[in-house]
Structure 1
Amino acid sequence: MVIAVINYGMGNLHSVVKALEYVTRERVIITYDPIIIKNATRIVLPGQGAIRDCMKELKRTKLIYLLKTLMENNEKPILGICIGLQMLMDKSEENGGIQCLKYFSGDVKKFCNINYKIPHIGWNHVYQYVSHPLWKNIPNGERFYFVHSYYVIEKNIQNISGYTEYAGILPHVAICKNLVFAVQFHPEKSSIMGLKLLYNFVNWYP
């Protein structure tokens, strides 16, 4: 039993690993090895940073096709965190426009309200749009920790699992489809509720 945390050169990998190790006895590995990823029981797409660099690293390590195949075939549970959520969309406005993995139908846009601090850093309420196993024992409206300048709007309402409110916008901060669940906030930095979400992920057997 292995949880593969995909390494594409971005930050917060070790904090994600530590949080996962706190909630499970499964082996947690930071890797970009396609064989380990393919054979893992679960996959985590974490990260912070520029989406252009993330996509470039996925391409360099030849993981784009593998990830798309695993998601489309519903082979195993996958959790996206922060930039790991944004990479699953159609495209991002960041870096002049970047094509993403296109698993979800929607775009990544930049906050532009001058009356709010950008990036959005700190705790904010997350309102659950639909029930999901990863929300188990997490009350609606609980606070999670955010660090982001770009936000997601998912076009398919059936895929929206949670939202928040910031800069006069209701960003979709949790989206899901089949065995993929992705969040804009950082569960590994979100205290007890974040650990509960990670616990729910490692105990999710669809």
Structure 2
Amino acid sequence: MKVAIVDYGMGNIRSLTTTLTYLGVSDVILSNNYEILKSADKIILPGVGSFGKAMQQIRERKIDVYLKDLVVNSGKPMLGVCLGMQLVGNSSTEDGYNEGLGLVDAEVTRLSAPNIKVPHVGFNQIAISQNSRLFDGMAANPDFYFTHSYKMLTQSNINVSACEYGERFVAAFEYKNIAGVQFHPELSQKNGLHLLKNFLEKF
């Protein structure tokens, strides 16, 4: 299996690559080249940093055009991780208003519940949605490692698994061939390995 990690100059590349190799992925590539992304069986959109700067880098490299063709038009499976999940939504208020990739109908805003520390850092439990492919085979309310200041919210039917941190937000979603996780599976020990394995096998 070949897995392509999208290179737009920002992201948790090393830990993801190491984890995928540990899971037995024979070919892990880092690229923003259309033909190379097209040749991959799965795509992972990583992310560490700010939404606005990330979208600027993505547009400059025409990655937004590539992903729309490969993921939306051709149905190639893609997983967004942390900021990578947020980028697939419509917009974010980070660094002012910025439009996202628009692959799912969702918005991103700052964590704003009273009496919470921002960023949200550490392990937290998740309420798993029914018929989830990402969390298939896991015990109820598994925990994963989060580090983020912004949250995704949606009214759309994208099979949301939720987390509570002063307020309820999207911890993960699954929409057709697209999945996203707000947490870092590559830093979430056994549960993270299980989730990445599910993505590789069930999408």
Structure 2 gaps of 5+ residues are none
Aligned pairs, number: 203
Equivalent residue number for residue 18 of structure 2? 18
Per-residue deviation, 1:116:
0.7
* Residues 145 and 187, structure 1, Cα contact 8 Å, conserved in 2: yes
Equivalent residue number for residue 196 of structure 1? 194
Equivalent residue number for residue 39 of structure 2? 39
Equivalent residue number for residue 57 of structure 1? 57
* Residues 2 and 28, structure 1, Cα contact 8 Å, conserved in 2: yes
Structure 1 gaps of 5+ residues are none
* Alpha-carbon separation, structure 2, partners of 1:2 and 1:40: 5
RMSD: 1.2
Is 2:92 the counterpart of 1:92?
A: yes
Per-residue deviation, 1:11:
3.2
Q: Using the TM superposition, name which of 44-53 and 67-76 deviates more.
A: 67-76
* Alpha-carbon separation, structure 1, partners of 2:78 and 2:112: 31
Per-residue deviation, 1:176:
1.4
Local SS of the residue matching 2:4? strand
Per-residue deviation, 1:38:
1.2
* Alpha-carbon separation, structure 1, partners of 2:73 and 2:90: 19
* Alpha-carbon separation, structure 1, partners of 2:136 and 2:90: 29
What TM-score do you get using the length of structure 2 for normalisation? 0.95
Local SS of the residue matching 1:105? coil
* Alpha-carbon separation, structure 2, partners of 1:95 and 1:62: 21
Equivalent residue number for residue 159 of structure 2? 160
Q: Using the TM superposition, name which of 9-18 and 83-92 deviates more.
A: 9-18
AA paired with 1:166?
Y
* Alpha-carbon separation, structure 2, partners of 1:6 and 1:62: 12
Q: Which runs of 4+ in 1 moved over 4 A?
A: none
TM alignment of 1:94-133, pairs within 5 A: 94-133=94-133
Per-residue deviation, 1:71:
2.3
Is 2:171 the counterpart of 1:173?
A: yes
Per-residue deviation, 1:155:
1.7
AA paired with 1:192?
K
Local SS of the residue matching 1:108? strand
AA paired with 2:195?
L
Per-residue deviation, 1:114:
4.1
* Alpha-carbon separation, structure 2, partners of 1:46 and 1:140: 26
Local SS of the residue matching 1:94? coil
Per-residue deviation, 1:19:
0.7
* Alpha-carbon separation, structure 2, partners of 1:134 and 1:54: 25
